[in-house]
Chains A and B, each alone.
Chain A
């Protein structure tokens, strides 16, 4: 019986599921758009994993599962995760497992971006964007749509640029105005796309990387690492070679699978509820608690119509699921 481990990263834009084996080989990976519905995205991912497992045959079994990303609590509850870990740690462990001695991780996802600095394979410093998405994938998504170019081809266009166009990248909205202005002036699409890539990189380096000690080897991961234009812009700005790992788009999920593996080996047991969870009906119902002026938005998770978990309250009064939710 070969033991496999499942890693799940439920992010704002994509939900990623990976299966790794005991030697950290990637057996399967899946990148699904969350589309604002993490429950459905995760169930789809689990269904896919189920198909993969039946293909592999009965010699293989999932022996542990880890979740990460902004939806880690929800996903962790749904599948019975052995480890629920923040995405900064998950990304760092994945990168340092596959690229030994990595010093800097640039990670740009759908709605957040991070920089992680490691020393001797241990995180020594990190930063994450705060309230603005101007330096993230969603920003590029938006501009690609406006230019009528599929996001997948976006980066390649940038490589054909011949003239530098400087686009204001501080704010996603103003960047769009500036881009339109440059279009009206008659700059080519390629130059504008390259300008956008450089604006994003400039924004990232100014916001996140300020004061950080960026040294090679540098790894670039997250969905945006698919964008060759951004990679080039980073190399130009930093004057260093940037390495994009093979599974750049699912590194968070890989990290959580690695963490689950470690946890299960240590504990000798798993809390995994099985891939059948793909067929269970999960619903989320929220209500505003009226007990105090904080008016917490409490979320209840229903598993086959039964209330199974609740969170979102500051005081913890709704954590006990035996108290019925107020009727809304």
Chain B
């Protein structure tokens, strides 16, 4: 059995390491690319969201690399994601692929966790409860560290003295992490790059604009899909922060277990004056995090969603009210396979100009320069 799985930002690092630790044969699909998108778009329903389409592309590319089994999460909700695996399985079978499709509930309750455990236990040749729990625990730590590394990149990039150093390290890291196996090597490599990033010469006193990025999780963390928004912002001298990451998502889902903490309560509470109940996906997180970013003194918000994403459309209709009442600029970017990068860049540039001017007006009482 050779397992492949769909990409979602940098989550592959952890999934790959977990499966390797359990001696499960794993095929990591190539990173999302134009080819992935073309394959996915060709075989998916037209109005389904981009994450679904990229998944299909990932499966096909994973199979091309020798996989015979696809692993995908499923479950009730939280949005169309709940039907992804059933629909994708049908599509793959219709395309004539002779593959096994194994799914597990997205461990939102004890039953789901049991199902996930049974699946891993079977696939790993009965490694047993201790080994599997221990592996998952370490996996959660790896997830955190990968996200922390990304946060660090976003902090260093706008402040680097020599332009392009962070981008260069980011590419190197991606090329190397795919070649190492298991936890030990993965942690070591992350540590190495942490050091490298910290040794980049930066302008410590630089007063940078801060933008919080909110929206649908997949689009937020899959750099291919969001057209590298963090990199673009960083190179314009803006520090960005992504509100949702895989580690936060997993913690949110697992926080019914004692000892696992998430910021779910805080986010829900922050959102409550504008949205009192979850609307699927990360809709309530979009609202809550926008308000939290405002409290933390961020200059602006970029809201990203894939075309036809229902929960984010609900959030989108609430954001203008927050923009007005809380006086925080919000730029919404809707993305699908037709997105033209030129118009997207123009909007981001103009948004950053807008935030810079606001900052000047705040600091000096008027706008002093436009450059």
Contacts and interface: CB of A to CB of B under 8 A. Distances in A.
Interface of A: 70, 83, 85-89, 93, 112, 120-126, 128, 130-131, 211, 258-259, 262-263, 266, 292-295, 314-316
Contacts of B33: 292-295
A126 B371 contact: no
Interface stretch (B110-118, B197-205, B279-287, B348-356): B348-356
A126 B343 contact: no
A293 B370 contact: no
Contact of A123 (B342, B354, B369): B354
Contact of B35 (A130, A295, A316): A295
Interface string B26-52: 000010011110000000000000000
A293 B349 contact: no
Interface string B216-236: 000000000000100000000
B182 interface: no
Given A122-B361, A294-B33, A315-B171, 8 more contacts: A86-B353, A87-B346, A88-B347, A89-B350, A121-B367, A123-B354, A125-B329, A130-B334
- Name the prevailing secondary structure of the B interface residues: helix
B367 A122 contact: yes
A266 B371 contact: yes
Nearest to A93: B370
Contact of B371 (A120, A263, A292): A263
24 contacts: A70-B342, A85-B371, A86-B345, A86-B346, A86-B349, A86-B350, A88-B349, A88-B350, A89-B349, A89-B353, A112-B343, A122-B354, A122-B367, A123-B350, A124-B354, A125-B323, A125-B329, A126-B347, A128-B343, A128-B346, A263-B371, A293-B30, A293-B35, A316-B171
A262 B34 contact: no
Contacts of A70: 342, 346
A299 to B, nearest CB: 13
A128 B332 CA distance: 11
Contact size range, B: 20 to 34
A294 B351 CA distance: 28
Interface string B335-367: 000101011011101110110011001000001
B165 interface: no
Q: Which of A70, A121, A293 has its CB near the most chain B CB atoms (within 10 A)?
A: A293
A123 B346 contact: no
B340 A83 contact: no
A293 B340 contact: no
A87 B353 CA distance: 11
A314 B223 CA distance: 11
Contacts of A83: 371
Q: Taking each of B35, B36, B354, which has the highest tally of chain A beta carbons within 10 Å of its own beta carbon?
A: B354
B75 interface: no
Nearest to A89: B353
Contacts of A259: 370-371
Given A86-B349, A93-B370, A294-B33, A122 B357 contact: yes
9 shortest interchain CB distances as A-B pairs? A88-B350, A293-B35, A293-B33, A86-B349, A294-B33, A122-B357, A89-B353, A123-B354, A86-B346
A126 B35 CA distance: 34
A211 B61 CA distance: 43
Contacts of B370: 85, 89, 93, 258-259, 262
B167 interface: yes
B228 to A, nearest CB: 7
Nearest to A88: B350
B278 interface: no
Contacts of B171: 315-316
B82 interface: no
Contact of A262 (B345, B353, B371): B371
Nearest to B168: A316
Max chain A C-beta neighbours (<10 A), residue from B171, B342, B354, B370: B370
Contacts of B329: 124-125
B128 interface: no
A131 B338 contact: yes
B30, B164, B353: residue with the most chain A Cβ atoms closer than 10 Å: B353
Nearest to B35: A293
B346 A88 contact: yes
